[in-house]
Amino acid sequence: GAVVSQHPSWVICKSGTSVKIECRSLDFQATTMFWYRQFPKQSLMLMATSNEGSKATYEQGVEKDKFLINHASLTLSTLTVTSAHPEDSSFYICRTPGLGDNEQFFGPGTRLTVL
Amino acid sequence: SQQGEEDPQALSIQEGENATMNCSYKTSINNLQWYRQNSGRGLVHLILIRSNEREKHSGRLRVTLDTSKKSSSLLITASRAADTASYFCATVSNTGTASKLTFGTGTRLQVTL
């Protein structure tokens, strides 16, 4: 199956800084990318859906100016957490769907810790 | 919120026992999927059951689906210590575009020797 990588796998930053998380599909054209956030011991919550070459669609309650998503190519989608605060500390996971419902390609996740 | 509920939230069993997790959801679905997540890691797809199916097996996994009750169950038979993980159900609704997965709250399974 396709491989989706995320970089970095973990990052620690100071409050107020911005962090960019990259999600790459290595052998698959990711037309659509879903971004999730998972707080400790909680479930995955969908943040936004991005389509290559167009603006992302954000879920209710997710600030689009704080979580900037760029999907400029079929192999790369990025999520930038701007002016990060400790409450943004979370596990961020990207997902791109395959050709069928059985095919869901998840990135391994990025652990963000904001001090 | 469209998120499904899972119970129990946490389950602790001994190796060799069976583990049953339940998932309830709110909307009409295309299919329902179960995933496993080891601590701090990504998700692993376990099994998919379509809305017109009632039961499905895969190795030691057995999944049931009752669309009238909007519920599903995952049974892991003869559990092993390596099954220790969090398990999530995820429903897929037909959005007309790429399939949107909505995850349940998850069950943390601990299998002890």
Quick: pLDDT tens for B64-75: 999 999 999 999
Cβ–Cβ contact A101 with B under 8 A: yes
Structure token pair of residue B39: 């601590």
Q: What is the pLDDT of residue B1?
A: 45
Q: Is the dihedral of CA B70, B74, A102, A72 positive or negative?
A: positive
Query: Smallest Cβ distance to B88: which of A41, A43, A102?
Result: A43
Q: Beta partners for B106?
A: none
Q: Which of B21, B29, B7, B47 is nearest to B102 (CA)?
A: B29
R_g over Cα of chain A:
13
Query: Pick from A86, A56, A58: which is nearest to A69 by CA?
Result: A56
* pLDDT over threshold 80, residue A102: no
3-class secondary structure per residue, B39-60:
CCCCEEEEEEEECCCCEEEECC
Residue A5, chain B, CB below 8 Å: the answer is: no
CB atoms within 10 A of CB A17: 13
Which residues of A are less than 8 Å from B108 in CB distance?
41
Q: Please say if the pLDDT value at position B46 is more than 70.
A: yes
> Does B40 contact A102 at a Cβ distance shorter than 8 Å?
no
Does the structure show a pLDDT above 80 at B99?
no
Assess whether pLDDT exceeds 80 at residue B106: yes
Q: Is the CB of residue A54 less than 8 Å away from at least one CB of chain B?
A: no
Q: Tell me what pLDDT residue B96 has.
A: 53
Q: Which of A36, A41, A97 sits opposite B98 (nearest CB)?
A: A97
Yes or no, beta carbons of A31 and B101 under 8 Å apart:
no
Question: Among residues of chain A, what percentage have pLDDT more than 70?
Answer: 97
Size of interface A-B (CB pairs under 8 A): 52
Which residues of chain A make contact with B98, given a CB cutoff of 8 A? 31-32, 34, 49, 97
Interface of B with A in 31-50 (CB under 8 A): 31, 33, 40-43, 45, 48
